[in-house]
Amino acid sequence: MTTDARRHVSPGRLPATPTTQDRVTEAHELFRSESSGALSGTYPALATVDPGLFGLSVVTTTGDVISAGDAQTPFTIMSVAKPFVFALACELRGIESVRRFVGVNATGMAFDSTVPVERDQRGRTNPMVNAGAIATASLVPGDGVEARWEVVHDALSRFAGRRLELDHDTLASARATNHRNRGLANMLAAVGALEGEAADAVEVYTRQSCLSVTATDLAVMGAALADGGTNPVTGQRVVDPETAHATLAVMAIAGMYETSGDWLFDIGMPGKSGIGGGIVTVSPGKGALGTFSPLLDGAGNSVRGQLAARHLARRLGLDILASEESPPVR
């Protein structure tokens, strides 16, 4: 696949900062009392989070930060790390190489399902589900787990614009109970869909999932993808524009697991959720929305986060699929 260097990008803009702040505050007020959903039971530590927490943050491609509620409350990033590690792998190994090795098509199944691995002769799924994310983590180079982890840790921190720390309690909880992920890794290794040792890939994947972030961190990370790979808060180039494009594509395909089609239909933007309660939603050229609320629906997506994203997609003009009738040419 060749790249047309003459591609024209028409990003548009978010409303003025005071208007954006009013609308983010409005979304927080509208959905803060929503009580449906349940805390994740995947890892014991996630079941102890305060279910009332709810934070929203928008970061623009010009570096403005607009927040409401518990936007600075830390939580574990979980699967929201997946697109950013995919971006790292693409930078280090090449986009097409990662695409061929991991796959990019939606599975239509739960994030930890074994069926997609079994039905593809090469074990390919996509980078947004657990099997594909473990395969992606295995592509990060390094002499041993610690060296590979430092590459991942540094990349995710550059996306966030600050040094992210591990939540050691959640990491210990995940290590003690991640039997299914170990099984997925062994299945991948058996069909040659993993580089290196299965246990090493699972360890790197588990650590990346247990980094502590805030809703604002997620918005900054997403805004780097919205700005063609440059973190708009730090001004640092994190990945190149083609990698940012590829990352947003896989988020649109499968970022919300088996409900990704409904998400794109309703919200009209690439997004990625995690069972820690976070969602990052990206509007290319404009900015990103980070949300945190730990009550999840049956697919593992934050209930309040989805409601806020749907509301703000319209109120802030974030929906990349929306258009208006143009006046007739005379």
Three-state DSSP state, 281: strand
Which ranges of 103-240 does DSSP label H, i.e. alpha helix? 115-119, 130-138, 145-160, 168-177, 179-190, 198-209, 215-226
**Cβ 68 vs Cβ 24: under 8 Å:** yes
Structure tokens given for 52: 């009332």
**Cβ 305 vs Cβ 293: under 8 Å:** yes
Q: Is 231 annotated as a binding residue?
A: no
**Cβ 260 vs Cβ 109: under 8 Å:** no
Q: Is 178 annotated as a binding residue?
A: no
Instruction: Provide the terminal-to-terminal Cα distance of the chain, rounded to the nearest Å.
Output: 39
Q: Is 113 annotated as a binding residue?
A: no
- For the chain, how big is the Rg over CA atoms in Å? 19
Q: Is 205 annotated as a binding residue?
A: yes
Q: Is 283 annotated as a binding residue?
A: no
Give the C-alpha separation, 140 to 134, whole Å: 11
Annotated binding site for substrate: 79, 130, 181, 205, 257
Annotated binding site: 79, 130, 181, 205, 257
